[in-house]
A and B are shown apart, each in its own frame.
Chain A
Amino acid sequence: MPTLHTVNKSAFERNSLESCLSVCKTDASVLLFEDAVVSGLQNTTVSNQITQAAGSGIKLYALSEDLKARGLSEERVMPEITLVDYPGFVKLTVENDRVQNWL
């Protein structure tokens, strides 16, 4: 019964990503969108947490349109993170059994 978690705030502004990862099961997926896409950039203070989460089996995604809107190139995103578009976002909600939105 996997869950899709969505996080929409930067990890440098709020602790929703940290809270989310702390309760995520290893079969969960986490989508970073809106301001949260900056949390997926390489070499930040939360990169270790993301690497650890990915290592435990959690699948991580970021919304490419929100990256683009913030002038961030896809090359700057951590390799552990898969980029998706809106159709991909919808697909993630379908593939998982429920959606938990961290607001």
Chain B
Amino acid sequence: MKFTIQINTGPYTHQASDSAYRFTQAAIDAGHSIHRVFFYHDGVNNATEYSVPPQDDRNLQQLWSELATEHNLDMIVCVAAAQRRGILDENESKKNGKNGVNIAPGFEISGLGQLIEGGVQSDRLVVFGD
């Protein structure tokens, strides 16, 4: 079965990102395919490469990046939500006259249309948030 996962909160505001990660992993383990993971609202904070949590804390940004590499996941960050919160890829950084790029590997900035497409193309849309 095809799933799209939507995540609305960052790793340090609420349990949602942890829950979404565990759910996504369990779905993959059960043999299902993940059509897309869409990071929306504060959920875009899962996509920063500049986060450096203590070593004994789980590093969700890194865990998502690793999961994406391992299973070739399509992980999309909402562009408007990302711009507000300072999540930039090379293109957005240049376009807005900024100096840095902080989007983590495996994440891609795109539009809300990707969420709609994910909902239409998938058998189930599961939303995690506050």
Interface residues of A (CB under 8 A from B): 6, 8, 33-35, 65-66, 86-87, 89-91, 93-94, 98-99, 101, 103
Contact = CB atoms under 8 A, between A and B. Distances in A.
A90 B26 contact: yes
Interface residues of B, number: 21
Contacts of A94: 1, 32, 124
A15 B65 CA distance: 35
Interface of B: 1, 3, 8, 15-16, 19, 22-23, 25-27, 29-30, 32, 124-130
B129 A103 contact: yes
Nearest to A34: B15
8 contacts: A8-B19, A34-B15, A90-B23, A90-B30, A94-B1, A94-B124, A98-B124, A99-B127
Question: Interface majority SS on A: helix, strand, loop or mixed?
Answer: helix
Given A90-B32, A103-B127, 4 more contacts: A65-B22, A86-B25, A101-B129, A103-B130
Nearest to A96: B124
Given A99-B124, A99-B126, A91 B23 contact: no
A87 B29 contact: yes
Contacts of B8: 103
Contact of A99 (B16, B30, B125): B125
